[in-house]
Structure 1
Amino acid sequence: MNELELGAIGNCRISALVDRRGRINWCCWPRLDSDPVFCDLLSGADSPEADDRRGLYEIALDGMVEAEQSYVSNTAILRTRLADAAGNAIEITDFVPRFNQFGRIFRPTMIVRQVRPVSGTPRITIRIRPAFEYGAAGPQLTHGSNHVRYVGPDETLRLTTNAPVAYVLDERPFQLAEPISLILGPDESLTRPVVETARMFEEQTESYWRNWVRYLYLPLEWQEAVIRAAITLKLCVFEETGAIIAAMTTSIPESPNSQRNWDYRFCWLRDAFFVVRALNRLGVVDIMEEYLRYLNNVTALADGGHLQPVYGIALEARLTERIVETLPGYRGMGPVRVGNQAHEHLQHDVYGDVVLAATQSFFDHRPLRRPGEADFDRLEKMGERAFRLHNEPDAGMWELRYRARVHTSSSLMCWAACDRLAKIAGHLGKTDRATYWRDRADEIHERICTEAWNEERQTFTESFGGTDIDASLLLMAEVGFVKADDPRFVKTVEAIEGHLLRDRHLMRYHAPDDFGAPDAAFNICTFWYVEALDMMGRREEAREIFEEMLRCRNGLGLLSEDYVPRTGELWGNFPQTYSLVGIINCAMRLSRSWGEVL
């Protein structure tokens, strides 16, 4: 059973998570990385009853015994149907408005909820309890005939509704005789009646998402899974700057009581590259353009110098990590962390991630802004850093906090930076620069083959001169460092299978780290394994494991970061962009071709 039975809604400015009971239990306001005004997800409560907890937004059906959820097809609009034992039922429609208006995208800081009776005479209770300062403070309330203002230390939220305001304020049960609309947004009056506004926003938001999906290049098989993954990845883009967050949440543990609780509401350059590449495969170039705008700002700030692995969504460099004492944590399993110490790490693979993210734009004629000489010069500075650091110790892509080694995955991505720069230079007709970067790529390649290959164990290892292995070695074929039929890669995959595979799910590594030995599989690693199997010609195995991974998704088609095979539960921050990337990449690789049926 998955506790993370949550649906995600959003508009590339804010997002919210809605559970099967119709409760919004997570929403950061007014940005994807802000203080969560709804934080019940981290309240630590096992009981679904509301009691006196802060940080939730609930539309409860009295005596509810049945709940089901689904998205409106090809949209980010979520519908929740609740029923009681007597057959009384309601339907809740949740969305965050997003549509074209006045030649631009309208994406307000606003959540729209519409509730309608489906059958019988249902009685509902509306509980709106925003919290501030990570659950430490509640709001002051003022109200009028059709609105309630929730005044916090720095934010004021305004609810406009045609529901009886007295019932909302008192959280009093009442009979739902006709549809009601609730618009929670900034402290501004609506320019149209609330019902009309909600209906119009829903129609235009639905139209926006359907048209966005319409232009995706989809595989023949697994289309619904790919569409849901693509929409959710887009919800993780902070469109104002082009940043891409790793997940919408903080501090959902990687496994029960593991203390591996991290804040993922920031832009990791590595994760963002994988998102951009996956969406490029679907023909979504606008997100690549938006992210490159963000990346250009990041690299300009670095000016050829040190790049952090992670930045804030508005280019914040300092993401000081602290523990919040006011929230017990997911299922009571704290700590709750805000900020991420990874901003202090040396992770040398980021230079390759930057170059790889930008490479397609030099070859693709679709972007509105084609890269030029200045863009190539900026990438060359990243390449110089990659070459200089390819054999220097770092924290590695798994962000080990108290151990530095020359990690093979970091050196691999430094090679990829030089390799892609050689290809870009050749495409631009810069023959001398192409030769320059090819020589550097070849030098790194030789060093990795010498230093990371363990002849005794017959495998590449996770660090130079090491003996351990990790799942990142699967990327060697993916980025073109070796061919999939190279005997060294085949032997490495076999070693990974022998040490890291747990019931068809792959661990990142098996050696103990700062928090002991990990016991959860890392979903993206399993997807990397699926891709490696296919590249090696083991397609049927790959398809079987991919289908197994699809069965691990929650009921709405979403995945978190981790999966614990022994319990069959999803764990880790949610929804996780890495995991959704894996769905898209594997579906595109494994699907039968359109030509087989047309």
Structure 2
Amino acid sequence: MDERYPPIAEHGLVGDLQTAALVSSRGVIDWFAAPRFDSPSIFAALLDVERGGYFQLAPEQPGLSCKQLYYPDTAVLVTRFMSPDGVGEVVDYMPPDRTGTATDRHTLVRVVRVVRGTVAFTLRCRPRFDYGRAEHELDLGPDGALFRAPGISAHLQSTFPLERDGRDVRGTVTLKAGEIGSAVFTVCDPGGAAPPPLTIDGITERSWDVVHFWKTWLRTSRYRGRWPELVHRSAITLKLLIYAPTGAMVAAPTMGLPEQVGGERNWDYRYTWIRDGSLSVRALMDLGFVDEAAAFVHWLVARLHEREGNGGEPLQTMYRVDGDPNLPEQTLEHFEGYQGSYPVRAGNRAADQLQLDIYGEAVYALAQGREIGRRATYSGWKALTRTLDWLADAWDRPDEGIWETRGGRKDFTYSRVMTWAAFDRGLRLADVFRKPADTVTWTRTRDAIFEQIMERGWSESEKAFVQQYGGDLLDASLLLMPRVGFIAPEDPAWLSTLDAMDRTLVSDSLVYRYDPAASPDGLRGSEGTFSLCTFLYVDATARAGRLPLARYAFEKMQTYANHVGLFAEEIGPSGEQLGNFPQAFTHLSLIMAATTLDAALDLEEGR
């Protein structure tokens, strides 16, 4: 293992609700893109330690012990450095957007302080704009450093002296117990106004203001279950992944982190998937965050409106956070990739795939709660009915499926289950809100899909519902079947499917999404267990009444969280976190599993 690259899990996340940064437990910001999640990177040492750029603020001495934690109930990250000479801390945060207006100005605040003894901190700021492809100029003066690159600039201010290091800067400061310093990195348009002068009093006031913001937001949570710290950390993480100006949630703030170290499954997740965002609505609603859920639904309805009268499919699988459907995929040839995991891809050509399940998740989101229903407009309803009318003619087609396989279109069972859910929820909405719709066609289509799944999605040899028609491979996406109401959670056919998954996909309570060696997905290599699927397994086993197993799996999964409660996409063979980090899908499914398990345990205990 190349020790220049920290483990993926050795990071915390900070953000301002328009973009985000990763901070390693060694005090290095090694991933940051601005002005948006899906913008080119400024710091990307996590993808190429030599070419990517980074911002280090930490002691440089042997024998250091490093710890990281969040200030309770906030997105303010504290990295602690313990040495024989003293204990120092770096506090990282980004002032959150409170306007809901897109801006090109974003600020990373880094506060250094010493709580015991004496500690010397070293600053190294090496931005590499446009994924390390753009050269920059440096102006260094008494007010700090100004980095200027085509189309973007960045100011670095500090309360201690900075010096030139080629086209980069460095600085050192030695503090004693009770002393504080700071370094602030502000990204803006070329020629943007310099930030106001940096003062310790101003930084202290700003820090407590950010703490207050997060604590006030979290107080609206109505979760009162057994795992408040875990659930609330997931809620804060989901909030950090929402682009406030539009309400769209990115799948992860990172790109290119591998599902297998050295492998090719290295995708760009900084976009809004219809599937992920729609399922997040239920998780947010369960916790009482109605405004965030409604904002995504508003964004979703806007996407339905955009293609009216243009023919073709009403939705594509993913979009940029502002709704732009253009996500051309390119390989960053100059990046070696995390631990040599090449290629590094920017953009995502899976946006052009046909994934019919997204219509089920979309309507599932629109059906979540009367509060969202009360905000619905007539034009939004018409967009929904046009979509379901289109789907009534289009549902019985092979597609690339939920896992975005690149091995050709198949008749995936999960895709059919979610098209069934689209019509089932559409019919419910038409009834509850007394809205006009072609309910006769919708009912006939829903029932036809159900019959087809029962006849062709079942494997008699496996005694289970399977990944695709005519096959015998299991697929963990089908764990959502009872949650969406396709089948009763204690139906014998479903219990038999759970048993088959236990035998084939479950490893020490962790769940593979499918067997990549047996399921041709068009890619080389293998992958770890899928954390989303593990939490879906908890949800499904709890619904099936297998509570000891469900709780044990949930409690065991918590041991795979990183030191600050975050999860990547996958868990590797040695318990390491793999894939883009942190992943929204994992955290929203954690919330879903926790609330389902809480309700089942309450019922069992007679609460």
TM-score tier (shorter):
over 0.9
8 Å CA contact 2:160, 2:173 repeated in 1? no
Verify: 1:163 aligned to 2:160, yes or no: yes
Residue identity in the other structure for 2:80 = R
8 Å CA contact 2:128, 2:134 repeated in 1? yes
Alignment of 1:272-291 (within 5 A): 272-291=277-296
Name stretches of at least 5 consecutive residues in structure 2 with no aligned partner: 1-5
Q: CA deviation at 1:430?
A: 4.3
Task: Choose which of 322, 325, 333 in structure 1 pairs with 2:341.
Answer: 333
* Equivalent position SS for 2:131: coil
Instruction: Tell me how far apart the structure 1 counterparts of residues 603 and 357 of structure 2 sit (CA, whole Å).
Output: 36
Instruction: Tell me how far apart the structure 2 counterparts of residues 193 and 174 of structure 1 sit (CA, whole Å).
Output: 16
Alignment of 1:484-563 (within 5 A): 484-510=489-515, 511-512=518-519, 513-516=521-524, 518-563=526-571
Q: CA deviation at 1:389?
A: 2.4
Task: Choose which of 36, 53, 56 in structure 2 pairs with 1:55.
Answer: 53
Q: CA deviation at 1:256?
A: 2.1
Residue identity in the other structure for 1:247 = A
Task: Choose which of 220, 230, 233 in structure 2 pairs with 1:228.
Answer: 233
Match of 1:348 in 2: 356
Q: Which moved more, 1:326-335 or 1:478-487?
A: 326-335
Instruction: Tell me how far apart the structure 1 counterparts of residues 245 and 113 of structure 2 sit (CA, whole Å).
Output: 34
Q: CA deviation at 1:188?
A: 2.4
Match of 1:48 in 2: none
Q: CA deviation at 1:455?
A: 2.7
Instruction: Tell me how far apart the structure 1 counterparts of residues 17 and 108 of structure 2 sit (CA, whole Å).
Output: 13
Describe the shift of the 1:594–1:100 C-alpha distance in structure 2 as closer, same or farther (beyond 3 A): farther
8 Å CA contact 1:13, 1:107 repeated in 2? no
Instruction: Tell me how far apart the structure 2 counterparts of residues 398 and 543 of structure 1 sit (CA, whole Å).
Output: 27
Q: Which moved more, 1:70-79 or 1:467-476?
A: 467-476
Match of 1:444 in 2: 449
Tell me the TM-score normalised to structure 2 length: 0.91
Q: Any idea what the Cα deviations from partners look like across 1:485-515, whole Å, max 9, x if unmatched?
A: 1111111111112221122211111124322
Match of 2:3 in 1: none
Task: Choose which of 125, 132, 137 in structure 2 pairs with 1:135.
Answer: 132
Instruction: Tell me how far apart the structure 2 counterparts of residues 156 and 476 of structure 1 sit (CA, whole Å).
Output: 49
Describe the shift of the 1:413–1:277 C-alpha distance in structure 2 as closer, same or farther (beyond 3 A): same
Alignment of 1:244-393 (within 5 A): 244-303=249-308, 305-306=312-313, 307-360=315-368, 363-365=369-371, 370-393=375-398
Verify: 1:73 aligned to 2:81, yes or no: no
* Equivalent position SS for 1:388: helix
Among all aligned residue pairs of Structure 1 and Structure 2, give the percentage whose two residues are the same amino acid: 34
Residue identity in the other structure for 2:371 = H
Q: CA deviation at 1:467?
A: 2.2
Q: Any idea what the Cα deviations from partners look like across 1:449-486, whole Å, max 9, x if unmatched?
A: 12212234322121122222211111111100010111
Task: Choose which of 90, 93, 106 in structure 1 pairs with 2:91.
Answer: 93
Residue identity in the other structure for 1:66 = S
Alignment of 1:385-464 (within 5 A): 385-430=390-435, 433-464=438-469
Q: CA deviation at 1:206?
A: 0.8
Describe the shift of the 1:78–1:445 C-alpha distance in structure 2 as closer, same or farther (beyond 3 A): same
Instruction: Tell me how far apart the structure 1 counterparts of residues 312 and 215 of structure 2 sit (CA, whole Å).
Output: 43
Instruction: Tell me how far apart the structure 2 counterparts of residues 404 and 357 of structure 1 sit (CA, whole Å).
Output: 26
* Equivalent position SS for 1:76: coil
* Equivalent position SS for 1:221: coil
Q: CA deviation at 1:440?
A: 2.4
Tell me the TM-score normalised to structure 1 length: 0.93
Describe the shift of the 1:161–1:405 C-alpha distance in structure 2 as closer, same or farther (beyond 3 A): same
Q: CA RMSD in A?
A: 2.4
Describe the shift of the 1:166–1:431 C-alpha distance in structure 2 as closer, same or farther (beyond 3 A): closer
* Equivalent position SS for 1:419: helix
8 Å CA contact 2:278, 2:361 repeated in 1? yes
Alignment of 1:119-198 (within 5 A): 119-166=116-163, 171-177=170-176, 178-185=179-186, 186=188, 187-191=192-196, 193-198=198-203
Q: Which moved more, 1:415-424 or 1:383-392?
A: 383-392
Instruction: Tell me how far apart the structure 2 counterparts of residues 328 and 218 of structure 1 sit (CA, whole Å).
Output: 43
Q: Any idea what the Cα deviations from partners look like across 1:327-355, whole Å, max 9, x if unmatched?
A: 11111212110011101111111111221
* Equivalent position SS for 2:18: coil
Describe the shift of the 1:597–1:160 C-alpha distance in structure 2 as closer, same or farther (beyond 3 A): farther
Instruction: Tell me how far apart the structure 1 counterparts of residues 577 and 275 of structure 2 sit (CA, whole Å).
Output: 23
Q: CA deviation at 1:99?
A: 6.2
Describe the shift of the 1:261–1:554 C-alpha distance in structure 2 as closer, same or farther (beyond 3 A): same
Match of 1:49 in 2: none
Q: Which moved more, 1:287-296 or 1:88-97?
A: 287-296
Q: CA deviation at 1:276?
A: 1.6
Describe the shift of the 1:174–1:209 C-alpha distance in structure 2 as closer, same or farther (beyond 3 A): closer
Match of 2:82 in 1: 83
Instruction: Tell me how far apart the structure 2 counterparts of residues 588 and 431 of structure 1 sit (CA, whole Å).
Output: 34
8 Å CA contact 1:423, 1:434 repeated in 2? no
Residue identity in the other structure for 1:534 = A
8 Å CA contact 1:97, 1:107 repeated in 2? no
8 Å CA contact 2:46, 2:52 repeated in 1? no
8 Å CA contact 2:157, 2:198 repeated in 1? no
Match of 1:40 in 2: 45
Q: Which moved more, 1:434-443 or 1:535-544?
A: 434-443
Match of 2:589 in 1: 582
* Equivalent position SS for 2:545: coil
8 Å CA contact 1:122, 1:176 repeated in 2? yes
Describe the shift of the 1:11–1:79 C-alpha distance in structure 2 as closer, same or farther (beyond 3 A): same
Describe the shift of the 1:106–1:119 C-alpha distance in structure 2 as closer, same or farther (beyond 3 A): farther
Residue identity in the other structure for 1:140 = E
Q: CA deviation at 1:245?
A: 0.6
